[in-house]
Amino acid sequence: MVVKILTLFPQMFTGMLNESIIKRAIEDKKIDIDCIQIRDYASNKHKKVDDYPYGGGAGMVMTPQPLFDAHEHALSSLNNTKTEDKNKNDQIGECKKNSIRTIYMTPKGKVFNQDLATELSKESSLIFICGHYEGVDQRVIDTLVTDEISIGDYVLTGGEIPAMVVIDATARLIPGVVSNEESIVDESHSNNLLEYPQYTRPQEFRGMGVPGILLSGHHKNIEEWRKNKSLEITKNRRPDLV
Ligand code: ADE
């Protein structure tokens, strides 16, 4: 999967890209993640990327020009063709035709969940737009964006952390990214249930033991215990999932 991230703060992604499972997935060429600095595409002298909202009101709105140009660059690098030579309407049409999903991270979007992560993990490429200030000009959304996604009912300072959440949850579902595929099958949300409790050594720690059934070696009973625990935890914490 190839991921292009349009952002004003590419450095926010350095931690994510250089640690742990995502770092290994990049090294193993399972995923390629490229940050595109929106400001580099601003055509005005001062590289300004925001302006006052028409109609008044608080805050600033990200202007369309740098976003359209940065998106065009992302598309042409994904299509690996000389799209610079074509006119802009062709490129927008091509985006829709090729159905390269362009995701705008916004608290107004559809709330992200495991099903959506699974759906996105099947795409060969994704483009993310990270907004700041009071958001982006609506014409960007109307023309370029295929999906508006929120990571929850709260407001963050920008779309970078939400994009990282979506990319992380999606990337780990790409075959081969998480080495033990079993851990994806059993985990929370994989079948609309929260995961059962896990224990490891030592068998006794500060006076606390481990449920005897897990030490019994009786696989069928262990499976049943885990299923019951999953159901119990889900009913208690997330009755909406049951
Ligand atoms: N940008 C700001 N808050 C957000 C949220 N909750 N989800 C996605 N993008 C956001």
Residue 133 belongs to a domain with what CATH number?
3.40.1280.10
Instruction: Using the mean position of ligand 1's atoms as its centre, give its distance from the Cα of residue 232 in Å.
Output: 31
| CA pair distance 161, 151, nearest whole angstrom | 9
Ligand 1: residue whose CA is nearest its atom 2 = 156
**Residue 210 vs residue 186, higher pLDDT:** 210
What confidence score (pLDDT) does residue 82 get? Answer: 39
Contact 112, 149 (CB under 8 A): yes
Average pLDDT over residues 201-230: 98
Q: Judge if the beta carbon of residue 150 lies within 6 A of ligand 1.
A: yes
**Residue 134 vs residue 153, higher pLDDT:** 153
Alpha-carbon dihedral of residues 82, 88, 92, 98, nearest 10 degrees?
Answer: -20
Mutate to test the pocket of ligand 1, among 5, 9, 105 (most ligand atoms within 8 A of CB): 105
- Containing domain of residue 155, as a range? 2-241
**Residue 52 vs residue 87, higher pLDDT:** 52
Which residues have a Cβ under 8 Å from the Cβ of 32 and sit 6 or more positions away?
Answer: 1, 2, 3, 26
Contact 13, 7 (CB under 8 A): yes
Report field, pTM of the whole predicted structure over 0.85: yes
Please say if the pLDDT value at position 182 is more than 70: no
Q: Judge if the beta carbon of residue 64 lies within 6 A of ligand 1.
A: no
Mutate to test the pocket of ligand 1, among 106, 157, 160 (most ligand atoms within 8 A of CB): 106
As for how many domains the chain has, the answer is 1
